Amino acid sequence: QVQLKESGPGLVQPSQTLSLTCTVSGFSLTSYSVHWVRQHSGKSLEWMGRMWSDGDTSYNSAFTSRLSISRDTSKSQVFLKMNSLQTEDTGTYYCAREASGGLPGDWGQGVMVTVSS
């Protein structure tokens, strides 16, 4: 069945770079796109960007200058890198496979990231 699992450091220092990995199974990254979405504690959801099945990327304009999404299809992994982290970047980060229509459908369990010194 379709599974996605986020992994990465739970704690990142301010001004440093966040690196997260989304490892998928049950589908091919060359057939489905993968979204990244984050959620501040108790707050709403924020779409960050998308790795398309053809390898192209789209980003939320709020993150464009500091966000990068890439992939390794041989390992079924999608990567998120975001630099210049601030305390406001603390939250839970999710990856999600596209559903019919392209929107986020099947989600991973999320990984909590705290930005603190």
Q: Which residues bind other proteins (CB under 8 A)?
A: 35, 43-47, 58, 60-62, 94, 96, 99-105, 107-110
Beta carbon of residue 10, minimum distance to other proteins (angstroms, whole number): 16
Could you give the strand order of the β-sheet that contains 67-72, starting from the edge strand earlier in sequence? Answer: 3-7, 18-25, 77-82, 67-72
d(CA 111, CA 102) in angstroms, rounded, equals: 23
Return the CA Rg of the chain: 13
In angstroms, the CA 110 to CA 5 distance is 7
What is the C-alpha to C-alpha distance for residues 4 and 97, in angstroms, rounded to an integer?
8
Q: Name which of 21 and 60 has its Cβ closer to other proteins.
A: 60
Residue 108 Cβ vs other proteins, minimum distance, rounded to whole Å: 7
Nearer to other proteins, 7 or 13 (CB): 7
CB of 47 to other proteins, least distance (A): 4
Cβ nearer to other proteins, comparing 79 with 93: 93
